[in-house]
Every structure is written in C-alpha cells, then in structure tokens.
C-alpha cells in the first residue's frame, strides 16, 4: 500500500442545538488557514477564482501536468486539506438528520470525504443515563444531535479500500453514540474541546493551534490520533473508546501488502485462498520477528489478544508448531477441524499467521523471485541479529537451486539441526523462500512409439491386458475404459513391465494425475506413503510427467 491509499486527514464534526462545529482534525493545519481566512476574504476569493473556477476559454499557458498540480494544490497542501476553514468544512460534513446513519461521501477536486454520520438523539429523545440529566443538559450544555467522523482520502483510491475507511468511521461514530448515551462521554469531551477553542483568543498568534492544544487535553482526540496513525503505519486499529468500549479493525490491503514486491494485494481473493486450506497444512505464526524462541512468539501473540478472546483460540495458538498439521492439532487441542479452519482464517486475515506445509525432511525449498540481495538490506540485518553465527547470503546461495530440508540439514552436524530448522522457519515467515511441490501429469505416448509397439491387433491387446491383470467386471476396468484410445494404448504398451498390484495401484491413482494434485495431497487423501508413490511414478515414467511449483494454498493471497 503506497501513500495514495493512506488517508489524508481525519475530522470530528458534531451538530446540535448550537449548529455544527468541527471539534478536532488531524493532522493539524496552520491557524492562518483554519481561522485567518474566511470564505469571503479577498485572498480566498482570488485563490478560488484562479485555481478552481478557471475560464475554460482562456489561453492555456501551462502544460497539462502543471494544470493538474495546480488543481491539487487548491485542495491539498503539505498532505492536508487546504483552502477551507474549519467552519466551512463543518458545514460540508454535517448533513441533515434524514441523511444520518448511512454512508457519507463528498468529492472536492482530487479529495474525497467519506464518513458515516450517526444520529445521537432521535426526535429529541434520549435513553440511559441521560434521562436523569436531560433538564440540566438542556440548560447548561449543547444538545448533540449528530456526530460524524470523516476521513479525507485521495479520490482515486480503490473503492474496496475506501469502504474500509468508511467502516472505521461508522464504528467510531457508533461507539461515541453508545458512550454518550451511557455516561455522556461525547458531551464531556465536547466541553473540553470547546474550552480550548475559547482560550485561543487570549493566546499569542504563534500559539494559536487549537487542535494541537486540544490533543493535549482531550482523551477522545488522543484516541482519534492513535487510530489514524495506526491505520497508516500498521493497518490495525486497536483502541478503547472512553477506556471502556473496545474498537478493533484490520485493513487487509495494508496487512497483506507483499513485503518484498511492495504491491497492494487484492483482498477479494481472500475467501478463495481460505477454501484451499487442507487438513494436512499447518499455521506458522508471523507476529514475531525478533524473538529468539518460539515460546516467546506464542506468548507475545496471546498477550495482544482481546480480553474476551475465545479459550479455543488460546489453546490452538499455544499448541501450534511448524511440524504439526491441522489434523494433529485437531486431536491435541480437542478442536474440530471446521473450527480450526475458522480460527486460522481469522488469524490470516489479521496478518498473524500464514499457511505452510509442515516442516519435513522431504520438503523442497527454493529462493523466492524477489529476495533482497543487497549486502546491507534490512532482511540481512534482521537475520544477523537473530542468527549471529550465520550469513543470510550463504543461505541464499544454498537455496538458489531447489534443496530439500534434509539436504540443508547436514547429517554430520547434528548440533546444527535445530538452528537450521529455525532458519528455514524464519525464511518462510519473511517469504524469502518458497516450497515446491511435485505435480504429476499423465500424457499418452507419441504416435510413432505406439505404432512401433502395436504390431498386435488393438482389440486383442485389450483382451490380453484385461486377462493378465484380471480387470473384467471390476471398477478398475471402468477407470481404464474412460481413457481415450491413445491413453489406453499407451498404458498397454508399458503394462508388460509391471506387476498386477502395480497396475491396479496406478489405475486408482490416475484421478490425481491431472496436474492439480501434488504428492502430499495424494498421500493424505489416499493414505499412501511417499515412497510408494515415487515407485509408481518411476515405473510408469514413460507416460507420466512431473513438474514442481508452489501449492496454491501456500501462495499468500497473491
């Protein structure tokens, strides 16, 4: 996710018995812009007339790129909204009650304002704690009817990304309404913010940044700034409104950014990715980068879970290991497989784990396409910090060609086996290596080879084949008859080199020889050993082709 997808600003606007008002905005804007220029000031009128309402028939003296830059400058300056005072923006962001409790969107030039205005009171009624203080509120306080948390984003931001920002605005607005009805939290924060606005008139001009002063006094302003910075930096919002109501949100376009390629991932593929997970996969926690021990990583992830997190989630995280598949975890943690898949999908969505095939000696790994090979790269520094006696580039050299984990872990260095497994695990977390799986295709022999081997009549060949392998009246004969004639003749041509058990096993496995199933997939669903599959592929190698590439379930949302 680049800067274009990050929000530009965030605003807090209310509307009540004394009209609409902007209580807070972040990032801060210079006071001269916010309060010094009114909408009728000569400077403002000149700016608008020159930058926005240009005569379409006048002679163009600027290039198209310069015109585009001028348009942007009329709305954006230094990464914030420019040319509109707080009162003007408040008027734009405070819709009538009929437009409340629905999505709000307004485009100004190259900036789009999105929000979700929430009606705090309906028809002047209130509930909860406010019933006891209604008369006092009417006499002394502003009656807050509507609150709107608004974000300014670039107008060309993807609609899916914009919807996530709109969701967080809705959650913040509804949380404020809840706390207002419970303990008048919004009214109390409103008093603090207005008090700072009133004090600005008595301060020197150099100190007249009302929003900066509000941030120092208001807890609500601090929560808004915390949410804004978190979504820009990490893609996760985790705040407690009024220290009571938890608000957690994940921005998948930020979380699932490809670290090496630095591109935004299409989150619409998430559900398709989840459906590819199988019981023979496992999860690899990615929340830790610097911890030396796996136990510390698990403890850190459990520490950041919300207080009301399910005990099942705690149990699954505690018992997870890179060598345990989901089937084993199902038995160890006493959790059903569907529930495990739901929890894993949740962890993947929040960027806390990835799905891998469990570590095994036969696993084949190779370098990813875009690994950072610079000597002073960030990955190299992190690797040296975690494994002081190892060199990342030496490891890259070993995995520059496909290499099994068993070959990487030198049998003569038993004391290094644990460290080598940790290195492979770290490389998988960083997406620096990828696992290759073997897929099998069944291909008929060339026509010239079939003609050379078929001196006997094809019908007589079929009958001899059925008699030798005793296929008549069995399901295996049905499998054989379903093949095209060329494939049948190819199988017959190699049948003289194998025994009956080998042929029957081959026929049962042919449904997987379509290039869609790798060996580990076949091993799990047919409950066969790897060695038996390898022997079968070797005996029928004249009509079987093997290729190696990644499993679709372990390609992280790419």
Q: Three-state DSSP class for 239?
A: strand
What Cα–Cα distance (Å) separates residue 266 from each residue in 251, 285, 334, 553? 12, 22, 34, 16
* Measured torsion, CA atoms of residues 274, 277, 282, 288, in degrees rounded to the nearest 10: -20
Q: Is there a single domain that holds both residue 234 and residue 312?
A: no
Residue ending a domain, choose from 321, 356, 391: 356
Q: pLDDT at position 109, please?
A: 84
100: helix, strand or coil? coil
In this prediction, residue 16 carries a pLDDT of 87
Residues 173 and 97 in one domain: yes
Of 228, 247, 266, which one is at a domain's C-terminal end? 247
- Those residues with Cβ within 8 angstroms of residue 133's Cβ, 6 or more apart along the chain or in another chain: 184
Question: Residue 59 has what DSSP assignment?
Answer: P
Kindly state the DSSP code that residue 125 receives in the 8-state scheme: B
Last residue of one domain, picked from the residues 436, 458, 488: 436
Query: Would you give per-residue pLDDT tens digits along the chain (558 residues)?
Result: 455 788 999 999 999 888 899 999 998 865 434 443 444 444 444 444 444 444 544 544 444 444 444 444 446 655 567 778 888 899 999 999 899 999 999 998 889 999 999 999 765 444 444 454 454 544 455 689 999 999 999 999 989 899 999 999 999 999 999 999 999 999 999 999 988 877 776 666 545 578 888 898 999 999 999 999 999 998 899 999 999 999 999 988 888 765 444 555 566 677 888 888 999 999 999 875 555 556 677 888 888 888 888 999 999 999 999 999 999 999 999 999 999 999 999 999 888 999 999 999 999 999 998 888 888 889 999 999 999 989 999 999 999 999 999 999 876 667 788 899 999 999 999 999 999 999 999 998 875 455 555 555 667 778 888 888 887 666 888 888 899 888 988 898 888 889 999 999 999 999 999 999 999 999 999 999 999 999 999 999 999 999 999 998 888 655
Claim to verify: residue 288 and residue 372 sit in the same structural domain: no
Residues 390 and 335 in one domain: no
Do both 423 and 300 map to the same domain?
no
Residue 214, domain CATH: 3.30.450
**Residue at 59 is within a domain:** no
pTM: 0.80
Q: How many domains does the chain have?
A: 4
Do residue 378 and residue 348 come from a single domain?
no
The pLDDT of residue 369 is: 87
Residue 506 counted as domain residue = yes
- 415 in a domain, yes or no? yes
- State residue 523's pLDDT score: 95
- Give the per-residue pLDDT at 230: 93
pLDDT of res. 440? 96
- Measured in Å, how far apart are the chain's first and last C-alpha atoms? 14
Sign of the alpha-carbon dihedral angle for 353, 354, 357, 361: negative
User: Are the C-beta atoms of residues 97 and 119 closer than 8 Å to each other?
Assistant: yes
Q: Is the dihedral of CA 290, 293, 298, 304 positive or negative?
A: negative
CA dihedral 269, 271, 273, 274 (to 10 degrees): 160
Same domain? 453 vs 497: yes
For 251-290, how does the pLDDT look when each residue is reduced to its tens digit (9 = 90+)?
Answer: 888 887 654 445 555 666 778 888 889 999 999 998 755 5
* Residue 260 dihedral angles phi and psi, to the nearest 5°: -85, -45
The answer to whether residue 472 is domain-embedded is: yes
Q: Please report, for residues 228, 286, 338, 425, 440, the alpha-carbon distance to residue 352 in angstroms, rounded to integers and kept in the order given.
A: 21, 5, 19, 15, 33
Q: Which helix (H) or strand (E) holds 284?
A: strand 282-285
Instruction: Check whether the bond before 82 is cis (ω within 30° of 0).
Output: no
Residues in the chain: 558
**The tokens of 494 are what?**
């190699």
Alpha-carbon torsion, ordered 280, 286, 291, 294, to 10 deg: -20
Residue at 502 is within a domain: yes
In a domain, 42, yes or no: no
CA pair distance 515, 118, nearest whole angstrom: 53
Neighbours of 326 (CB within 10 A): 23
What ranges in 82-218 are assigned the alpha helix state H? 86-93, 130-140, 159-183, 185-199, 210-217
Same domain? For 339 and 483 the reply is: no
Q: Are residues 400 and 429 in the same domain?
A: yes
Range of the domain at 426: 364-436
pLDDT tens, residue by residue, 107-163: 988 899 999 999 997 654 444 444 544 545 444 556 899 999 999 999 999 898 999
429 plus 458 within the same structural domain: no
Burial class (CB in 10 A: 0-12, 13-18, 19+), 5: buried
**Cβ atoms 10, 151 nearer than 8 A:** yes
Angstrom distance (rounded) from CA 414 to CA 197: 69
Q: DSSP string spanning 358-419? A: PP-TT-EEEE-TT----TT-HHHHHHHHH-TT--HHHHHHHTTS-EEHHHHS-TT-GGGHHH
Q: Are residues 5 and 152 in the same domain?
A: yes
The pLDDT, as a whole number, for residue 412 is: 67
State residue 447's pLDDT score. Answer: 59
Residue 496, in any domain of the structure: yes
Is 352 in the same domain as 375?
no
**Residue 160 domain flag:** yes
């Amino acid at each position: 996710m680049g800067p274009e997808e990050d929000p530009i600003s965030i605003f807090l606007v209310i509307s009540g018995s004394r009209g609409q008002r902007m209580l807070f905005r972040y990032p801060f804007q210079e006071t001269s812009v916010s309060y010094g220029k009114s909408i009728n000031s000569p400077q403002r009128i000149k700016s608008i007339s020159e930058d926005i309402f240009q005569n379409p028939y006048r002679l163009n003296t600027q290039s198209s790129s310069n015109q585009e830059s001028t348009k942007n400058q009329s709305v954006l300056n230094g990464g914030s909204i420019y040319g509109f005072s707080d009162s003007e923006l408040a008027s734009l962001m405070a819709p009538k009650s009929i437009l409340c409790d629905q999505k709000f969107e307004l485009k100004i030039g190259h900036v789009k304002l999105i929000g979700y205005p929430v009606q705090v009171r309906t028809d002047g009624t209130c509930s909860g704690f406010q019933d006891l203080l209604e008369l006092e509120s009417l006499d002394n306080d502003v009656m807050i009817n509507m609150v709107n948390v608004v974000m300014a984003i670039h107008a060309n931001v993807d609609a899916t990304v914009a919807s996530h920002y709109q969701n967080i605005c809705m959650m913040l607005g509804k949380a404020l309404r809840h706390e207002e009805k419970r303990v008048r939290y919004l009214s109390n924060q409103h008093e603090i913010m207005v008090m700072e606005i009133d004090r600005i008139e008595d301060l020197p001009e150099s100190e007249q940044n009302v929003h900066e002063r509000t941030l120092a006094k208001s807890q609500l302003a601090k929560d808004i700034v915390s949410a804004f910075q978190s979504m820009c930096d990490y893609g996760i919002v985790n705040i407690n409104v009024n220290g009571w109501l938890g608000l957690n949100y994940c921005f998948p376009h930020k979380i699932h950014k490809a670290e090496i390629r630095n591109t935004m991932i299409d989150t619409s593929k998430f559900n398709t990715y989840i459906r590819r997970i199988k019981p023979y996969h496992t999860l690899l926690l990615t929340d830790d980068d610097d911890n030396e021990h796996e136990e510390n990583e698990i403890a850190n992830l459990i520490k950041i879970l919300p207080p009301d997190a399910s005990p099942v989630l705690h149990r699954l995280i505690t018992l997870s290991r890179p060598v345990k598949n989901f089937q084993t975890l199902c038995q160890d943690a006493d959790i059903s497989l569907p529930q495990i898949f739901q929890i894993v999908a949740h962890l993947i969505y929040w960027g806390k784990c990835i799905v891998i095939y469990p570590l095994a000696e036969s696993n084949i790994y190779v370098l990813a396409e875009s690994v950072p090979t610079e000597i002073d790269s960030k990955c190299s520094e992190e690797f040296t910090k975690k494994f002081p006696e190892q060199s990342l580039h030496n490891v890259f050299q070993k995995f520059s060609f496909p290499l099994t984990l068993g070959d990487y872990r030198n049998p003569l260095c038993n004391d290094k086996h644990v460290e080598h497994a940790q290195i492979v695990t770290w490389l998988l977390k960083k997406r620096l290596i990828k696992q290759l799986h073997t897929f099998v295709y069944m291909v008929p022999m060339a026509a010239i080879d079939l003609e050379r081997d078929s001196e006997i009549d094809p019908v007589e060949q079929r009958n001899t084949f059925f008699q030798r392998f005793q296929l008549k009246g069995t399901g295996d004969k049905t499998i054989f008859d379903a093949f095209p004639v060329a494939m049948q003749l190819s199988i017959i041509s190699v049948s003289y080199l194998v025994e009956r058990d080998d042929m029957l096993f081959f026929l049962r496995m042919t449904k997987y020889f379509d290039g869609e199933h790798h060996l580990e997939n076949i091993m799990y669903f047919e409950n066969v050993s790897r060695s038996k599959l390898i022997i079968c592929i070797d005996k029928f190698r004249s009509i079987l082709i093997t290729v190696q590439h990644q499993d679709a379930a372990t390609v992280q949302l790419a």
